[in-house]
Structure 1
Amino acid sequence: MSTKRFCFSCDLKDDSKLIAEYKEYHAVGKAWPEITKSIKDAGIVNMEIYLVGNRMFMIMEVDETFDPIKKDEMDANNLKVQEWENLMWKYQQELPWAKNGEKWMALEKIFQL
């Protein structure tokens, strides 16, 4: 099985209390099971989020079944995912160059060794 990698970035609100709460929601075993199921059901085989200051970086590895448009549709029709996303907006904020309401923005790969 071959995988493909996608990388994204999003900012958290620059508030140490909110950042700590956000990290707690994402601690091992703390993400809602419906969320991790929706991620796996979309063909995402691995997902990691890294944080520096209030900027986050997400690395997603997907299998051949992954389709970003289908994932968006699945999420839009999943009430628990919508609840999670609305809750996460308490902590997240758009990158300075994002369009209104745009969260995770795709990163452009500019170097590989």
Structure 2
Amino acid sequence: MRKYVLALDLKDDPKLIEEYEKYHQEVWPEIVESIKESGISAMEIYRFSNRLVMCMQVEEGFSFEQKAKADAENPKVQEWETLMWKYQQALPTAKPGEKWVLMDKIFSL
């Protein structure tokens, strides 16, 4: 099992942040299903101010490329992603079109 940690910012608006959190209290079942089907066995998102950090544990064979391809072909996932982008903004150092940015592990105990 592998772990990945990614970061993303929310738009710095308390009302939008509150709405975003509400959506994540009741994530659409199709989204949960697509996450599990991709080989992600556990996922958590943490927030400080408008910064988000996502921790994912994935099964052997998980691929970001395969997940992206499956997501692109899933209309419900595309609807969710479009809706979430209302609340999200790329990190200042993200590449064009990049949302969640993979973080480098620099310490482990």
For these two proteins, the number of residue pairs brought into alignment is 109
1:68-102 per-position Cα deviation (integer Å, ceiling 9, x unaligned): 11111000100000000000000000101111221
Q: RMSD across aligned C-alpha pairs, in angstroms?
A: 0.6
Unpaired stretches in structure 1, ≥5 consecutive residues: none
Structure 1 runs of 4+ off > 4 angstroms?
none
Residue identity in the other structure for 1:25: Y
CA distance in 2, matches of 1:50, 1:81: 21
Residue identity in the other structure for 2:9: D
1:1-113 maps to which residues of 2 (within 5 A)? 3-27=1-25, 30-113=26-109
Q: TM-score, normalised by structure 1?
A: 0.94
Unpaired stretches in structure 2, ≥5 consecutive residues: none
CA distance in 1, matches of 2:95, 2:67: 20
